Amino acid sequence: MVDSVTVGVVIAIPEPHASVLTGWRRRVGDPQAELIPPHVTLLPPTRVPRAGMASIEQHLSGAAAAASAFPMHLFGTGTFRPVSPVVFIQVARGLADCELLEKAIRSGPLSRELEFPYHPHVTVAQEIAEQRLDLAYDELSTFVARFPVDAFCLLERAADGRWAYCRDFELGHG
């Protein structure tokens, strides 16, 4: 696409949890550690025309206004292996809220097919050696985080692959 941008929509993981998870990604040698802040994906990387950003932001405002804040509880690890070399932190509470938000967001100007069925999670290791994936899986198995979710974020991927925050959308506010 000419004059397009790659966007994503996420629930950002707050501090101090974000630093802990980024530290683990670094420790296991995941090259994405410095490029992607810890998050729960609501819309995976999606290429859109830059000229359509105003309508996308309007769509996201509507999705946020129709949703309510909710508590999130992250607990323990999971993996998509052998289908995909990924270790993640599981969403123990807030799963259905994420599914509803994802459905609302991945519609209208952001309608697209997914490569895999939607499964809310926080990636902590991806596409690295099996033993490094095992280390993340084992060492983070008791990880716990609880926090309120009152917004989601629109991100844009820069030319160097780094994701940058563009805008927050508060839940339950028009």
pLDDT in tens, 123-146: 999 989 999 999 999 999 999 999
3-state secondary structure of 94: coil
Domains and CATH numbers, the chain: 4-170 (3.90.1140.10)
Residue found by looking up tokens 């994936």 in the block:
133
pLDDT in tens, 40-49: 999 999 999 9
Q: Is residue 10 within 8 Å of residue 39, measured between CB atoms? A: yes
pLDDT at 2: 57
CA triple 54-55-61, angle to 5 deg: 90
The predicted model gives 137-162 an average pLDDT of 95
